[in-house]
Amino acid sequence: MATGAAYRKAKGTTNLVILDSKKDKIENYLRALERKRNAPNDQPFTRLPYIIKLTNTNNLKPHEHTDPKKIHEVKKSIIEQGIKYPIVADKKTNIILDGHHRHNVFKNLKIQNIPVFYVNYMDSEIILDSWNSRKLTKQDVINKATSGKLYPIKTTKHMLKTPNGQTHISSTLPRIDIAITQLKKIWTTHQHKKITIP
């Protein structure tokens, strides 16, 4: 663990205290989450490794449209409650698999870098389904994202294989719980401040 960061245990959870607001401290926090979630006894659903990185919002590629009403709701939630979970994206293409509305909100709030949970989209454990019984392939999704001709709202549904069937990919994400005010300080200033991420 890098100098300036420390763990403490409280009620069975791990908290990371960030001693300044530089970007590398948040990266240390995300790496700590990776190590914790990649532990053999802490992978309840899947063998897929957890890779969490800070990524520029402009580098992420959506593959479906968003609902303005939903964006308003998500924005209100993020401002009031912070970011609970990272966006999910393919590590090779930066295509968003889960979190289109959050991505839109981050861009609207001018948050430049955001935590992203990266996966190998072509891994057989990741299953592409749809909300409307439409038959799709992963290559179809890639083509939509790269062409900019996006699917309608709520077209795709990305699932993970489990011992008992399938679960939505979002159900295996680690909570990050970062306040939006902390994000703005982290990525818009270099002031040294004490930041606690629960």
pLDDT in tens, 118-157: 999 999 889 999 888 788 999 999 999 999 999 999 999 9
Residue 85 has pLDDT above 50, yes or no: yes
161 Cβ partners below 8 Å, 6+ apart? 46, 124, 125, 127
Say what the pLDDT of residue 48 is.
Answer: 60
Level-2 CATH architecture, domain 30-179: Alpha-Beta Complex (3.90)
User: Helix 68-81 vs helix 100-108: angle between axes, to the nearest 10 degrees?
Assistant: 70
Average pLDDT along the chain: 75
More confident residue, 109 or 6: 109
pLDDT in tens, 16-75: 333 334 466 556 656 665 655 555 444 444 456 667 888 899 999 999 999 999 999 999
Cα gap 130→133, rounded to integer Å: 5
| Reported pTM | 0.72
